[in-house]
Amino acid sequence: MATPLPSSNSLPPARKRGLALRWSTWLVAAAIIGYGVAIAMHWDDRGLLWLQERFESKIEQQASIWLPDYQVDIDAKVLPGMEDDEASDLSYNPVSKTLFAVMGKNPFLVELTLEGDVLRKMPLVGWSNPEGVAVLEGGRLAIVDERDHKLTIVTLNADTRSLNIADFPQFDLGPSENQNKAFEAVAWDPLQQRIILGEERPPALFTWNSDGHSPLTGDKKPLPSDELDLRNLSALGVDPRTGHLLVLSADSNMLLELDEKGEQVSFMTLLGGFNGLKKRIPRAEGVAMDEHGTLYIVSEPDLFYRFKKP
């Protein structure tokens, strides 16, 4: 016959106290770790936004991008030959119906199809660390160099095979609060005729007036950034239909939608199991949206994603 296990009542008082103390310590440690993770991932803020989303009407959802409805269509497609180049940003060209991405480690510009196939690669001569790209008007692109704190407006055509920074106008973006985590993101807002700039850490937004054709006018101005409760800011995009801003954070595994007032509207987590993703997007560094509302993301080192609404 098996020997019965002693019940807790049969344990000596000293051992009972020891076990109780050990469990209490484990529970406190687990609570502290859980709280730290929640704060780091901004789960408290996401929880409030998730609750807010539940009360949005269908009309309000249709008037926004509404990220919860998106499902991955192309999941982690490898960009051939770019595993050592670090995809850093992405922008959509409504004229050519293609995408442009910059690579930060080995500076070059690449044109992609909407399926993530490579059309051409153009070396960026003279750039140190290109981290942001935005398609403007008339074949112009804005490229942000994080290390040099400069924005360069280049002109591109179908025959362009390389770009030299000395051939184009450059604009000094000025100092940042964290010089090593400076201007990382850029987006073109055609509805309000402005370029939107983003600092990586602490996340902050700025605007610079532009018609997309002429050089920048006036001065760079701060944009309210109170809703950027993110660990970092990796990239920006603008929905051409609503004018709403897409804010991407690799460290928070999050994509936020902000309205014209800078207030949070919806969000999408970039973890596996959500929005159809098989695995977490390793390090999301670029986001773009076309006129149909299709969403595109690139991740370091060389991954391409596309999301659509069912």
288-300 pLDDT, tens digit per residue, is 999 999 999 999 9
For the residues 148-167, what does the mean pLDDT come to?
96
Give the Å distances, CA to CA, from 68 to 52, 64, 88, 106, 229.
Answer: 12, 11, 24, 35, 18
Q: What are phi and psi of 93, to 5 degrees?
A: -105, 110
Predicted confidence (pLDDT) per residue in 121-135, tens digit: 999 999 999 999 999
For residue 2, what pLDDT is reported? Answer: 52
Per the CB < 8 A criterion, the answer to whether 284 and 60 are in contact is no
Neighbour tally for 286: CB within 10 Å:
29
DSSP strand E in 1-117: where?
Answer: 71-78, 87-93, 98-103, 108-112
Answer whether residue 266 shows pLDDT above 80. Answer: yes
Say how far apart CA 43 and CA 50 lie, in whole Å.
10
Answer whether residue 6 shows pLDDT above 60. Answer: no
Predicted confidence (pLDDT) per residue in 194-230, tens digit: 999 999 999 999 999 999 998 888 889 999 887 788 9
Distance, C-alpha 188 to centroid of its chain: 15
For the residues 297-310, what does the mean pLDDT come to?
96
| pTM, entire model | 0.84
Domain 57-308 belongs in CATH node 1.10.760.10: no
For residue 131, what pLDDT is reported? Answer: 95
For residue 292, count CB atoms less than 10 angstroms from its CB and return exposed for 0-12, middle for 13-18, buried for 19 or more: exposed
Q: How confident is the model at residue 28 (pLDDT cuts 50, 70, 90)?
A: low
CA pseudo-torsion sign 85, 182, 186, 47:
positive
Predicted confidence (pLDDT) per residue in 37-86, tens digit: 444 445 544 555 555 555 566 777 677 999 999 999 999 999 988 888 88
Predicted confidence (pLDDT) per residue in 175-201, tens digit: 877 666 689 999 999 999 999 999 999
Of 1-5, 218-222, 228-232, 265-269, least confident by mean pLDDT is 1-5
The domain segmentation of the chain, as residue ranges, is 15-55, 57-308
Say how far apart CA 297 and CA 137 lie, in whole Å.
22
Predicted confidence (pLDDT) per residue in 84-123, tens digit: 888 999 999 999 999 999 998 899 999 999 999 999 999 9
